[in-house]
Amino acid sequence: MPLPTGMRLLKANRPEYVPWMWAVNGAFSVLGAVLAVILGIMYGSSTAMLLGILIYLVALGISLTWKRKAIVSIPT
């Protein structure tokens, strides 16, 4: 869910960066798939899964931080 949340926030605050967000998402999707296979072969699938979970938790934290900042900056 970090991508939809981030896209929504980006579109509301900085719409000129939306195409870049799609490009970054596409690049990391390809890179992540390749790295998951490589890490799975080298270190085992459990390590690859744990690293993926950690990366998603970091992305969630960033997304929630951006969301909190966006809510605070909305004029009432």
Domain locations in the chain as residue ranges: 2-73
Q: Which of 21, 19, 20 is nearest to 2 (CA)?
A: 21
Rg from Cα positions in the chain: 15
pTM greater than 0.85 (yes/no): no
Cβ–Cβ under 8 Å, residues 21 and 6: yes
Question: How confident is the chain (76 residues) per 10-residue block, as mean pLDDT?
Answer: 77 89 92 94 95 89 78 62
Long-range pairs, 53-57, Cβ under 8 A, ≥24? 56/2
| pLDDT, position 70 | 66
DSSP category for residue 74: S
